[in-house]
């Protein structure tokens, strides 16, 4: 019911929507090459969190910031190779604070990835 409500809100605004069971963005990217994904700030926070990209045989604890950044960049480069862009909408946190890329970018991209993660400026639709 919640998924239908959210999907309906997007479709009523005239946008197309694809719903998939693919859990990782690299899986979604393989299904939807060249597509733009609209994600909330909360999802962006997970996308750039190195804990989701720890290589086999490594541990997050004890890894340098440089190593952790390299893991995230490797994952993001896979998305870029598929022609994916991530458009990030702001979200209201549990404490009522509104966060978006313009106020709180968590991850600085190298110049060659500059168009991969983009803010949706001035957009707000709390779903």
Please report, in tens digits, the pLDDT of each residue of the chain (127 residues total). 888 898 898 889 888 888 889 888 889 999 999 999 989 899 999 999 999 999 999 999 999 999 999 999 999 999 999 999 999 988 888 888 888 888 888 888 999 999 999 998 877 666 5
Q: For strand 98-99 and strand 91-92, is the pairing parallel, antiparallel, or unpaired?
A: antiparallel
pTM of the model: 0.81
């Amino acid at each position: 019911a919640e998924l239908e409500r959210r999907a309906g809100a997007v479709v009523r605004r005239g946008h197309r929507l694809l719903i998939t069971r693919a859990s990782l963005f690299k899986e979604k990217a393989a299904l939807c090459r060249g597509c733009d994904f609209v994600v909330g700030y909360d999802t962006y926070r997970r996308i750039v969190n190195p804990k989701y990209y720890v290589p086999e045989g490594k541990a997050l604890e004890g890894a340098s910031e440089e190593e952790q950044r390299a893991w995230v960049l490797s994952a993001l480069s896979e998305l870029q190779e598929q022609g994916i862009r991530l458009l990030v909408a702001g979200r209201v946190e549990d404490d009522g604070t509104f966060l978006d890329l313009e106020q709180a970018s968590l991850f600085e991209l190298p110049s060659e990835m500059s168009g991969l993660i983009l803010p949706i400026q001035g957009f707000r639709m709390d779903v």
